[in-house]
Structure 1
Amino acid sequence: MSAAPRRPFPLVPRRRFVGVRFGQHRSPRRGQGDEVAGTRPYRPGDRRTWIDWRASARLSAARGADEFVVREFFADTAPRVAIVVDRRPRMQLYGPPLPWLDKSAAVDAAVEAIGRATAAEGGDLAYAEHPRWIAPAPPAGVLGLLHAARTAHHAPAARSLEGSLDLLVRRAASFPAGTFVFVLSDFIDAARPQAWVKLRGLGWDVVPVVVQDPTWEQSFPAVGGVLLPIADPETGETRALALSRRETRARAAANGERLQGILDSFARLGFDSILIGSSDPAEIAWCFQRWAERRRRLRRRSA
């Protein structure tokens, strides 16, 4: 794996009506920006750089007098981004020194990547992790609060993803249509379908970030005949389990079908998912870069 990209990944809107690029997003109102909205007659106080000299020359020639036309621009608006995090006990599985996916570290790295992307576009960031809520603010401050909380080594409480989603939904008035909502979870029995339908109805750009271990959740290893220690994510209790080769193949197939079902269900809702199977920040950064590139290709095709 190569080094992490030097620049944060771009926030590419799914729907073209949202604007050009976030950070230079087109607003419905006129103002200072880069994208031309139209022209109008010159008014005292207008900048000389706004004058459309060719249009002014044509109008002056037609009317036989000096007439000036200025360009109007769509106002640039900064993006609003919200991160919703699932911290249920099963999201704490496979921590160090185990060799499998450290989901908690993967989530933290993804949050950092999203925060850097938001900062690069000049936007505000909100954070929902039931019961914690951080209102929209500059990303550096939000990430600083989260880092301080992590280093305090607070024991994780039993949280629910639906509770985190509800924290955001209750404040929907602060998040306009087109707001990026990154939801980080393994999405295994995480929330009822009604929760996702509600999010879609708010017109947000919902991006599920699916964090699953490639070995035990996206698939299942060929460990037939081996006595496995199985941990209950809720209680932490372990028990020994022996599976046959047929049972391990069945579990691998079932886990693969479950993952595909999760991705398909989000696709039907119009959500563009990102799949993460590593806690390495460089690899996670590339996952987000590929997501942005995929969106750009789709937008070019639809243009």
Structure 2
Amino acid sequence: MQCYIKRDRSNSTYHLFLGTNASLGESGKFLLAARKVRHATSADYVISLSADDMSRGSNMYVGKLRSNFIGTKFTVYDSQPPHSGAITATKKLGRRVGSKQILPRLPAGSYNVAQIAYELNVLGSKGPRRMHCTMHSISVSALDSGGHAPTPVEFSAIDYSLSSLPSFGSTKSFHFDYSTADAEAARGGFAPLMLKNKAPRWHEQLQCWCLNFRGRVTVASVKNFQLVAANTSEAAAQPPRSSQNDYEKVLLQFGKVGKDMFTMDYRYPLSAFQAFAICLSTFDTKLACE
């Protein structure tokens, strides 16, 4: 899906449109809007289906993106669980009425569906940022041949706090564990899809880091990125049951085309909300990465 994002610096808002030509302004089909809300130690990007009503109390509220103080760790919260199954809590919740256990309705925006982490920029201030995403609501097997985005029957109410993400304050080498047999798989019942940015190549003549955006990005920026799968399922390691090429495809790309205009192209299994939230994270100031 080819989309573009228009930024309004005057009121810290962002609008997502469906369309191939960002130069046409707002002639594309409106999809989502976001507004940045600053707090003492973090910032929220409130995402809404309405460009005129971006409050958390609105029925247009979709979810939010929350950053840490230095803009290196982000959590994506959905207003609704990613499936219609029951909520299984790690602690005893609710009360029992007769033979039924009554669970309280969780407040809007409390379902953690993804986490985003940025690394220290080892290529210098002009080099592209390095980022990693963990999609808690998408199984890595969704990329297999015949695979699909899962609909689990249970959703564990686990505390995925920002502190659980790796710290990037150190100058030591960074390692991100992409193993499918890790604690994340045990938590959600499946190995989550993990994304990493595609490594750019140094262009000797242009003297810059380059990625092939196939004409969709026209302005050089540290914000530009392409995300590919960072881990594979067991089926992908056993061809011909699954095509490895599906794991090498760019699932999300984002880049600058004007002063306040950016393109956003995404593909299955990501949703518009998830892709938009990931792209919003690149607008946040990253004190430890630049």
Q: Which structure carries more strand by proportion?
A: 2
Say yes or no: TM over 0.5. no
Q: Which structure carries more helix by proportion?
A: 1
CA radius of gyration, larger in: 1
- TM-score w.r.t. the length of structure 1 is 0.30
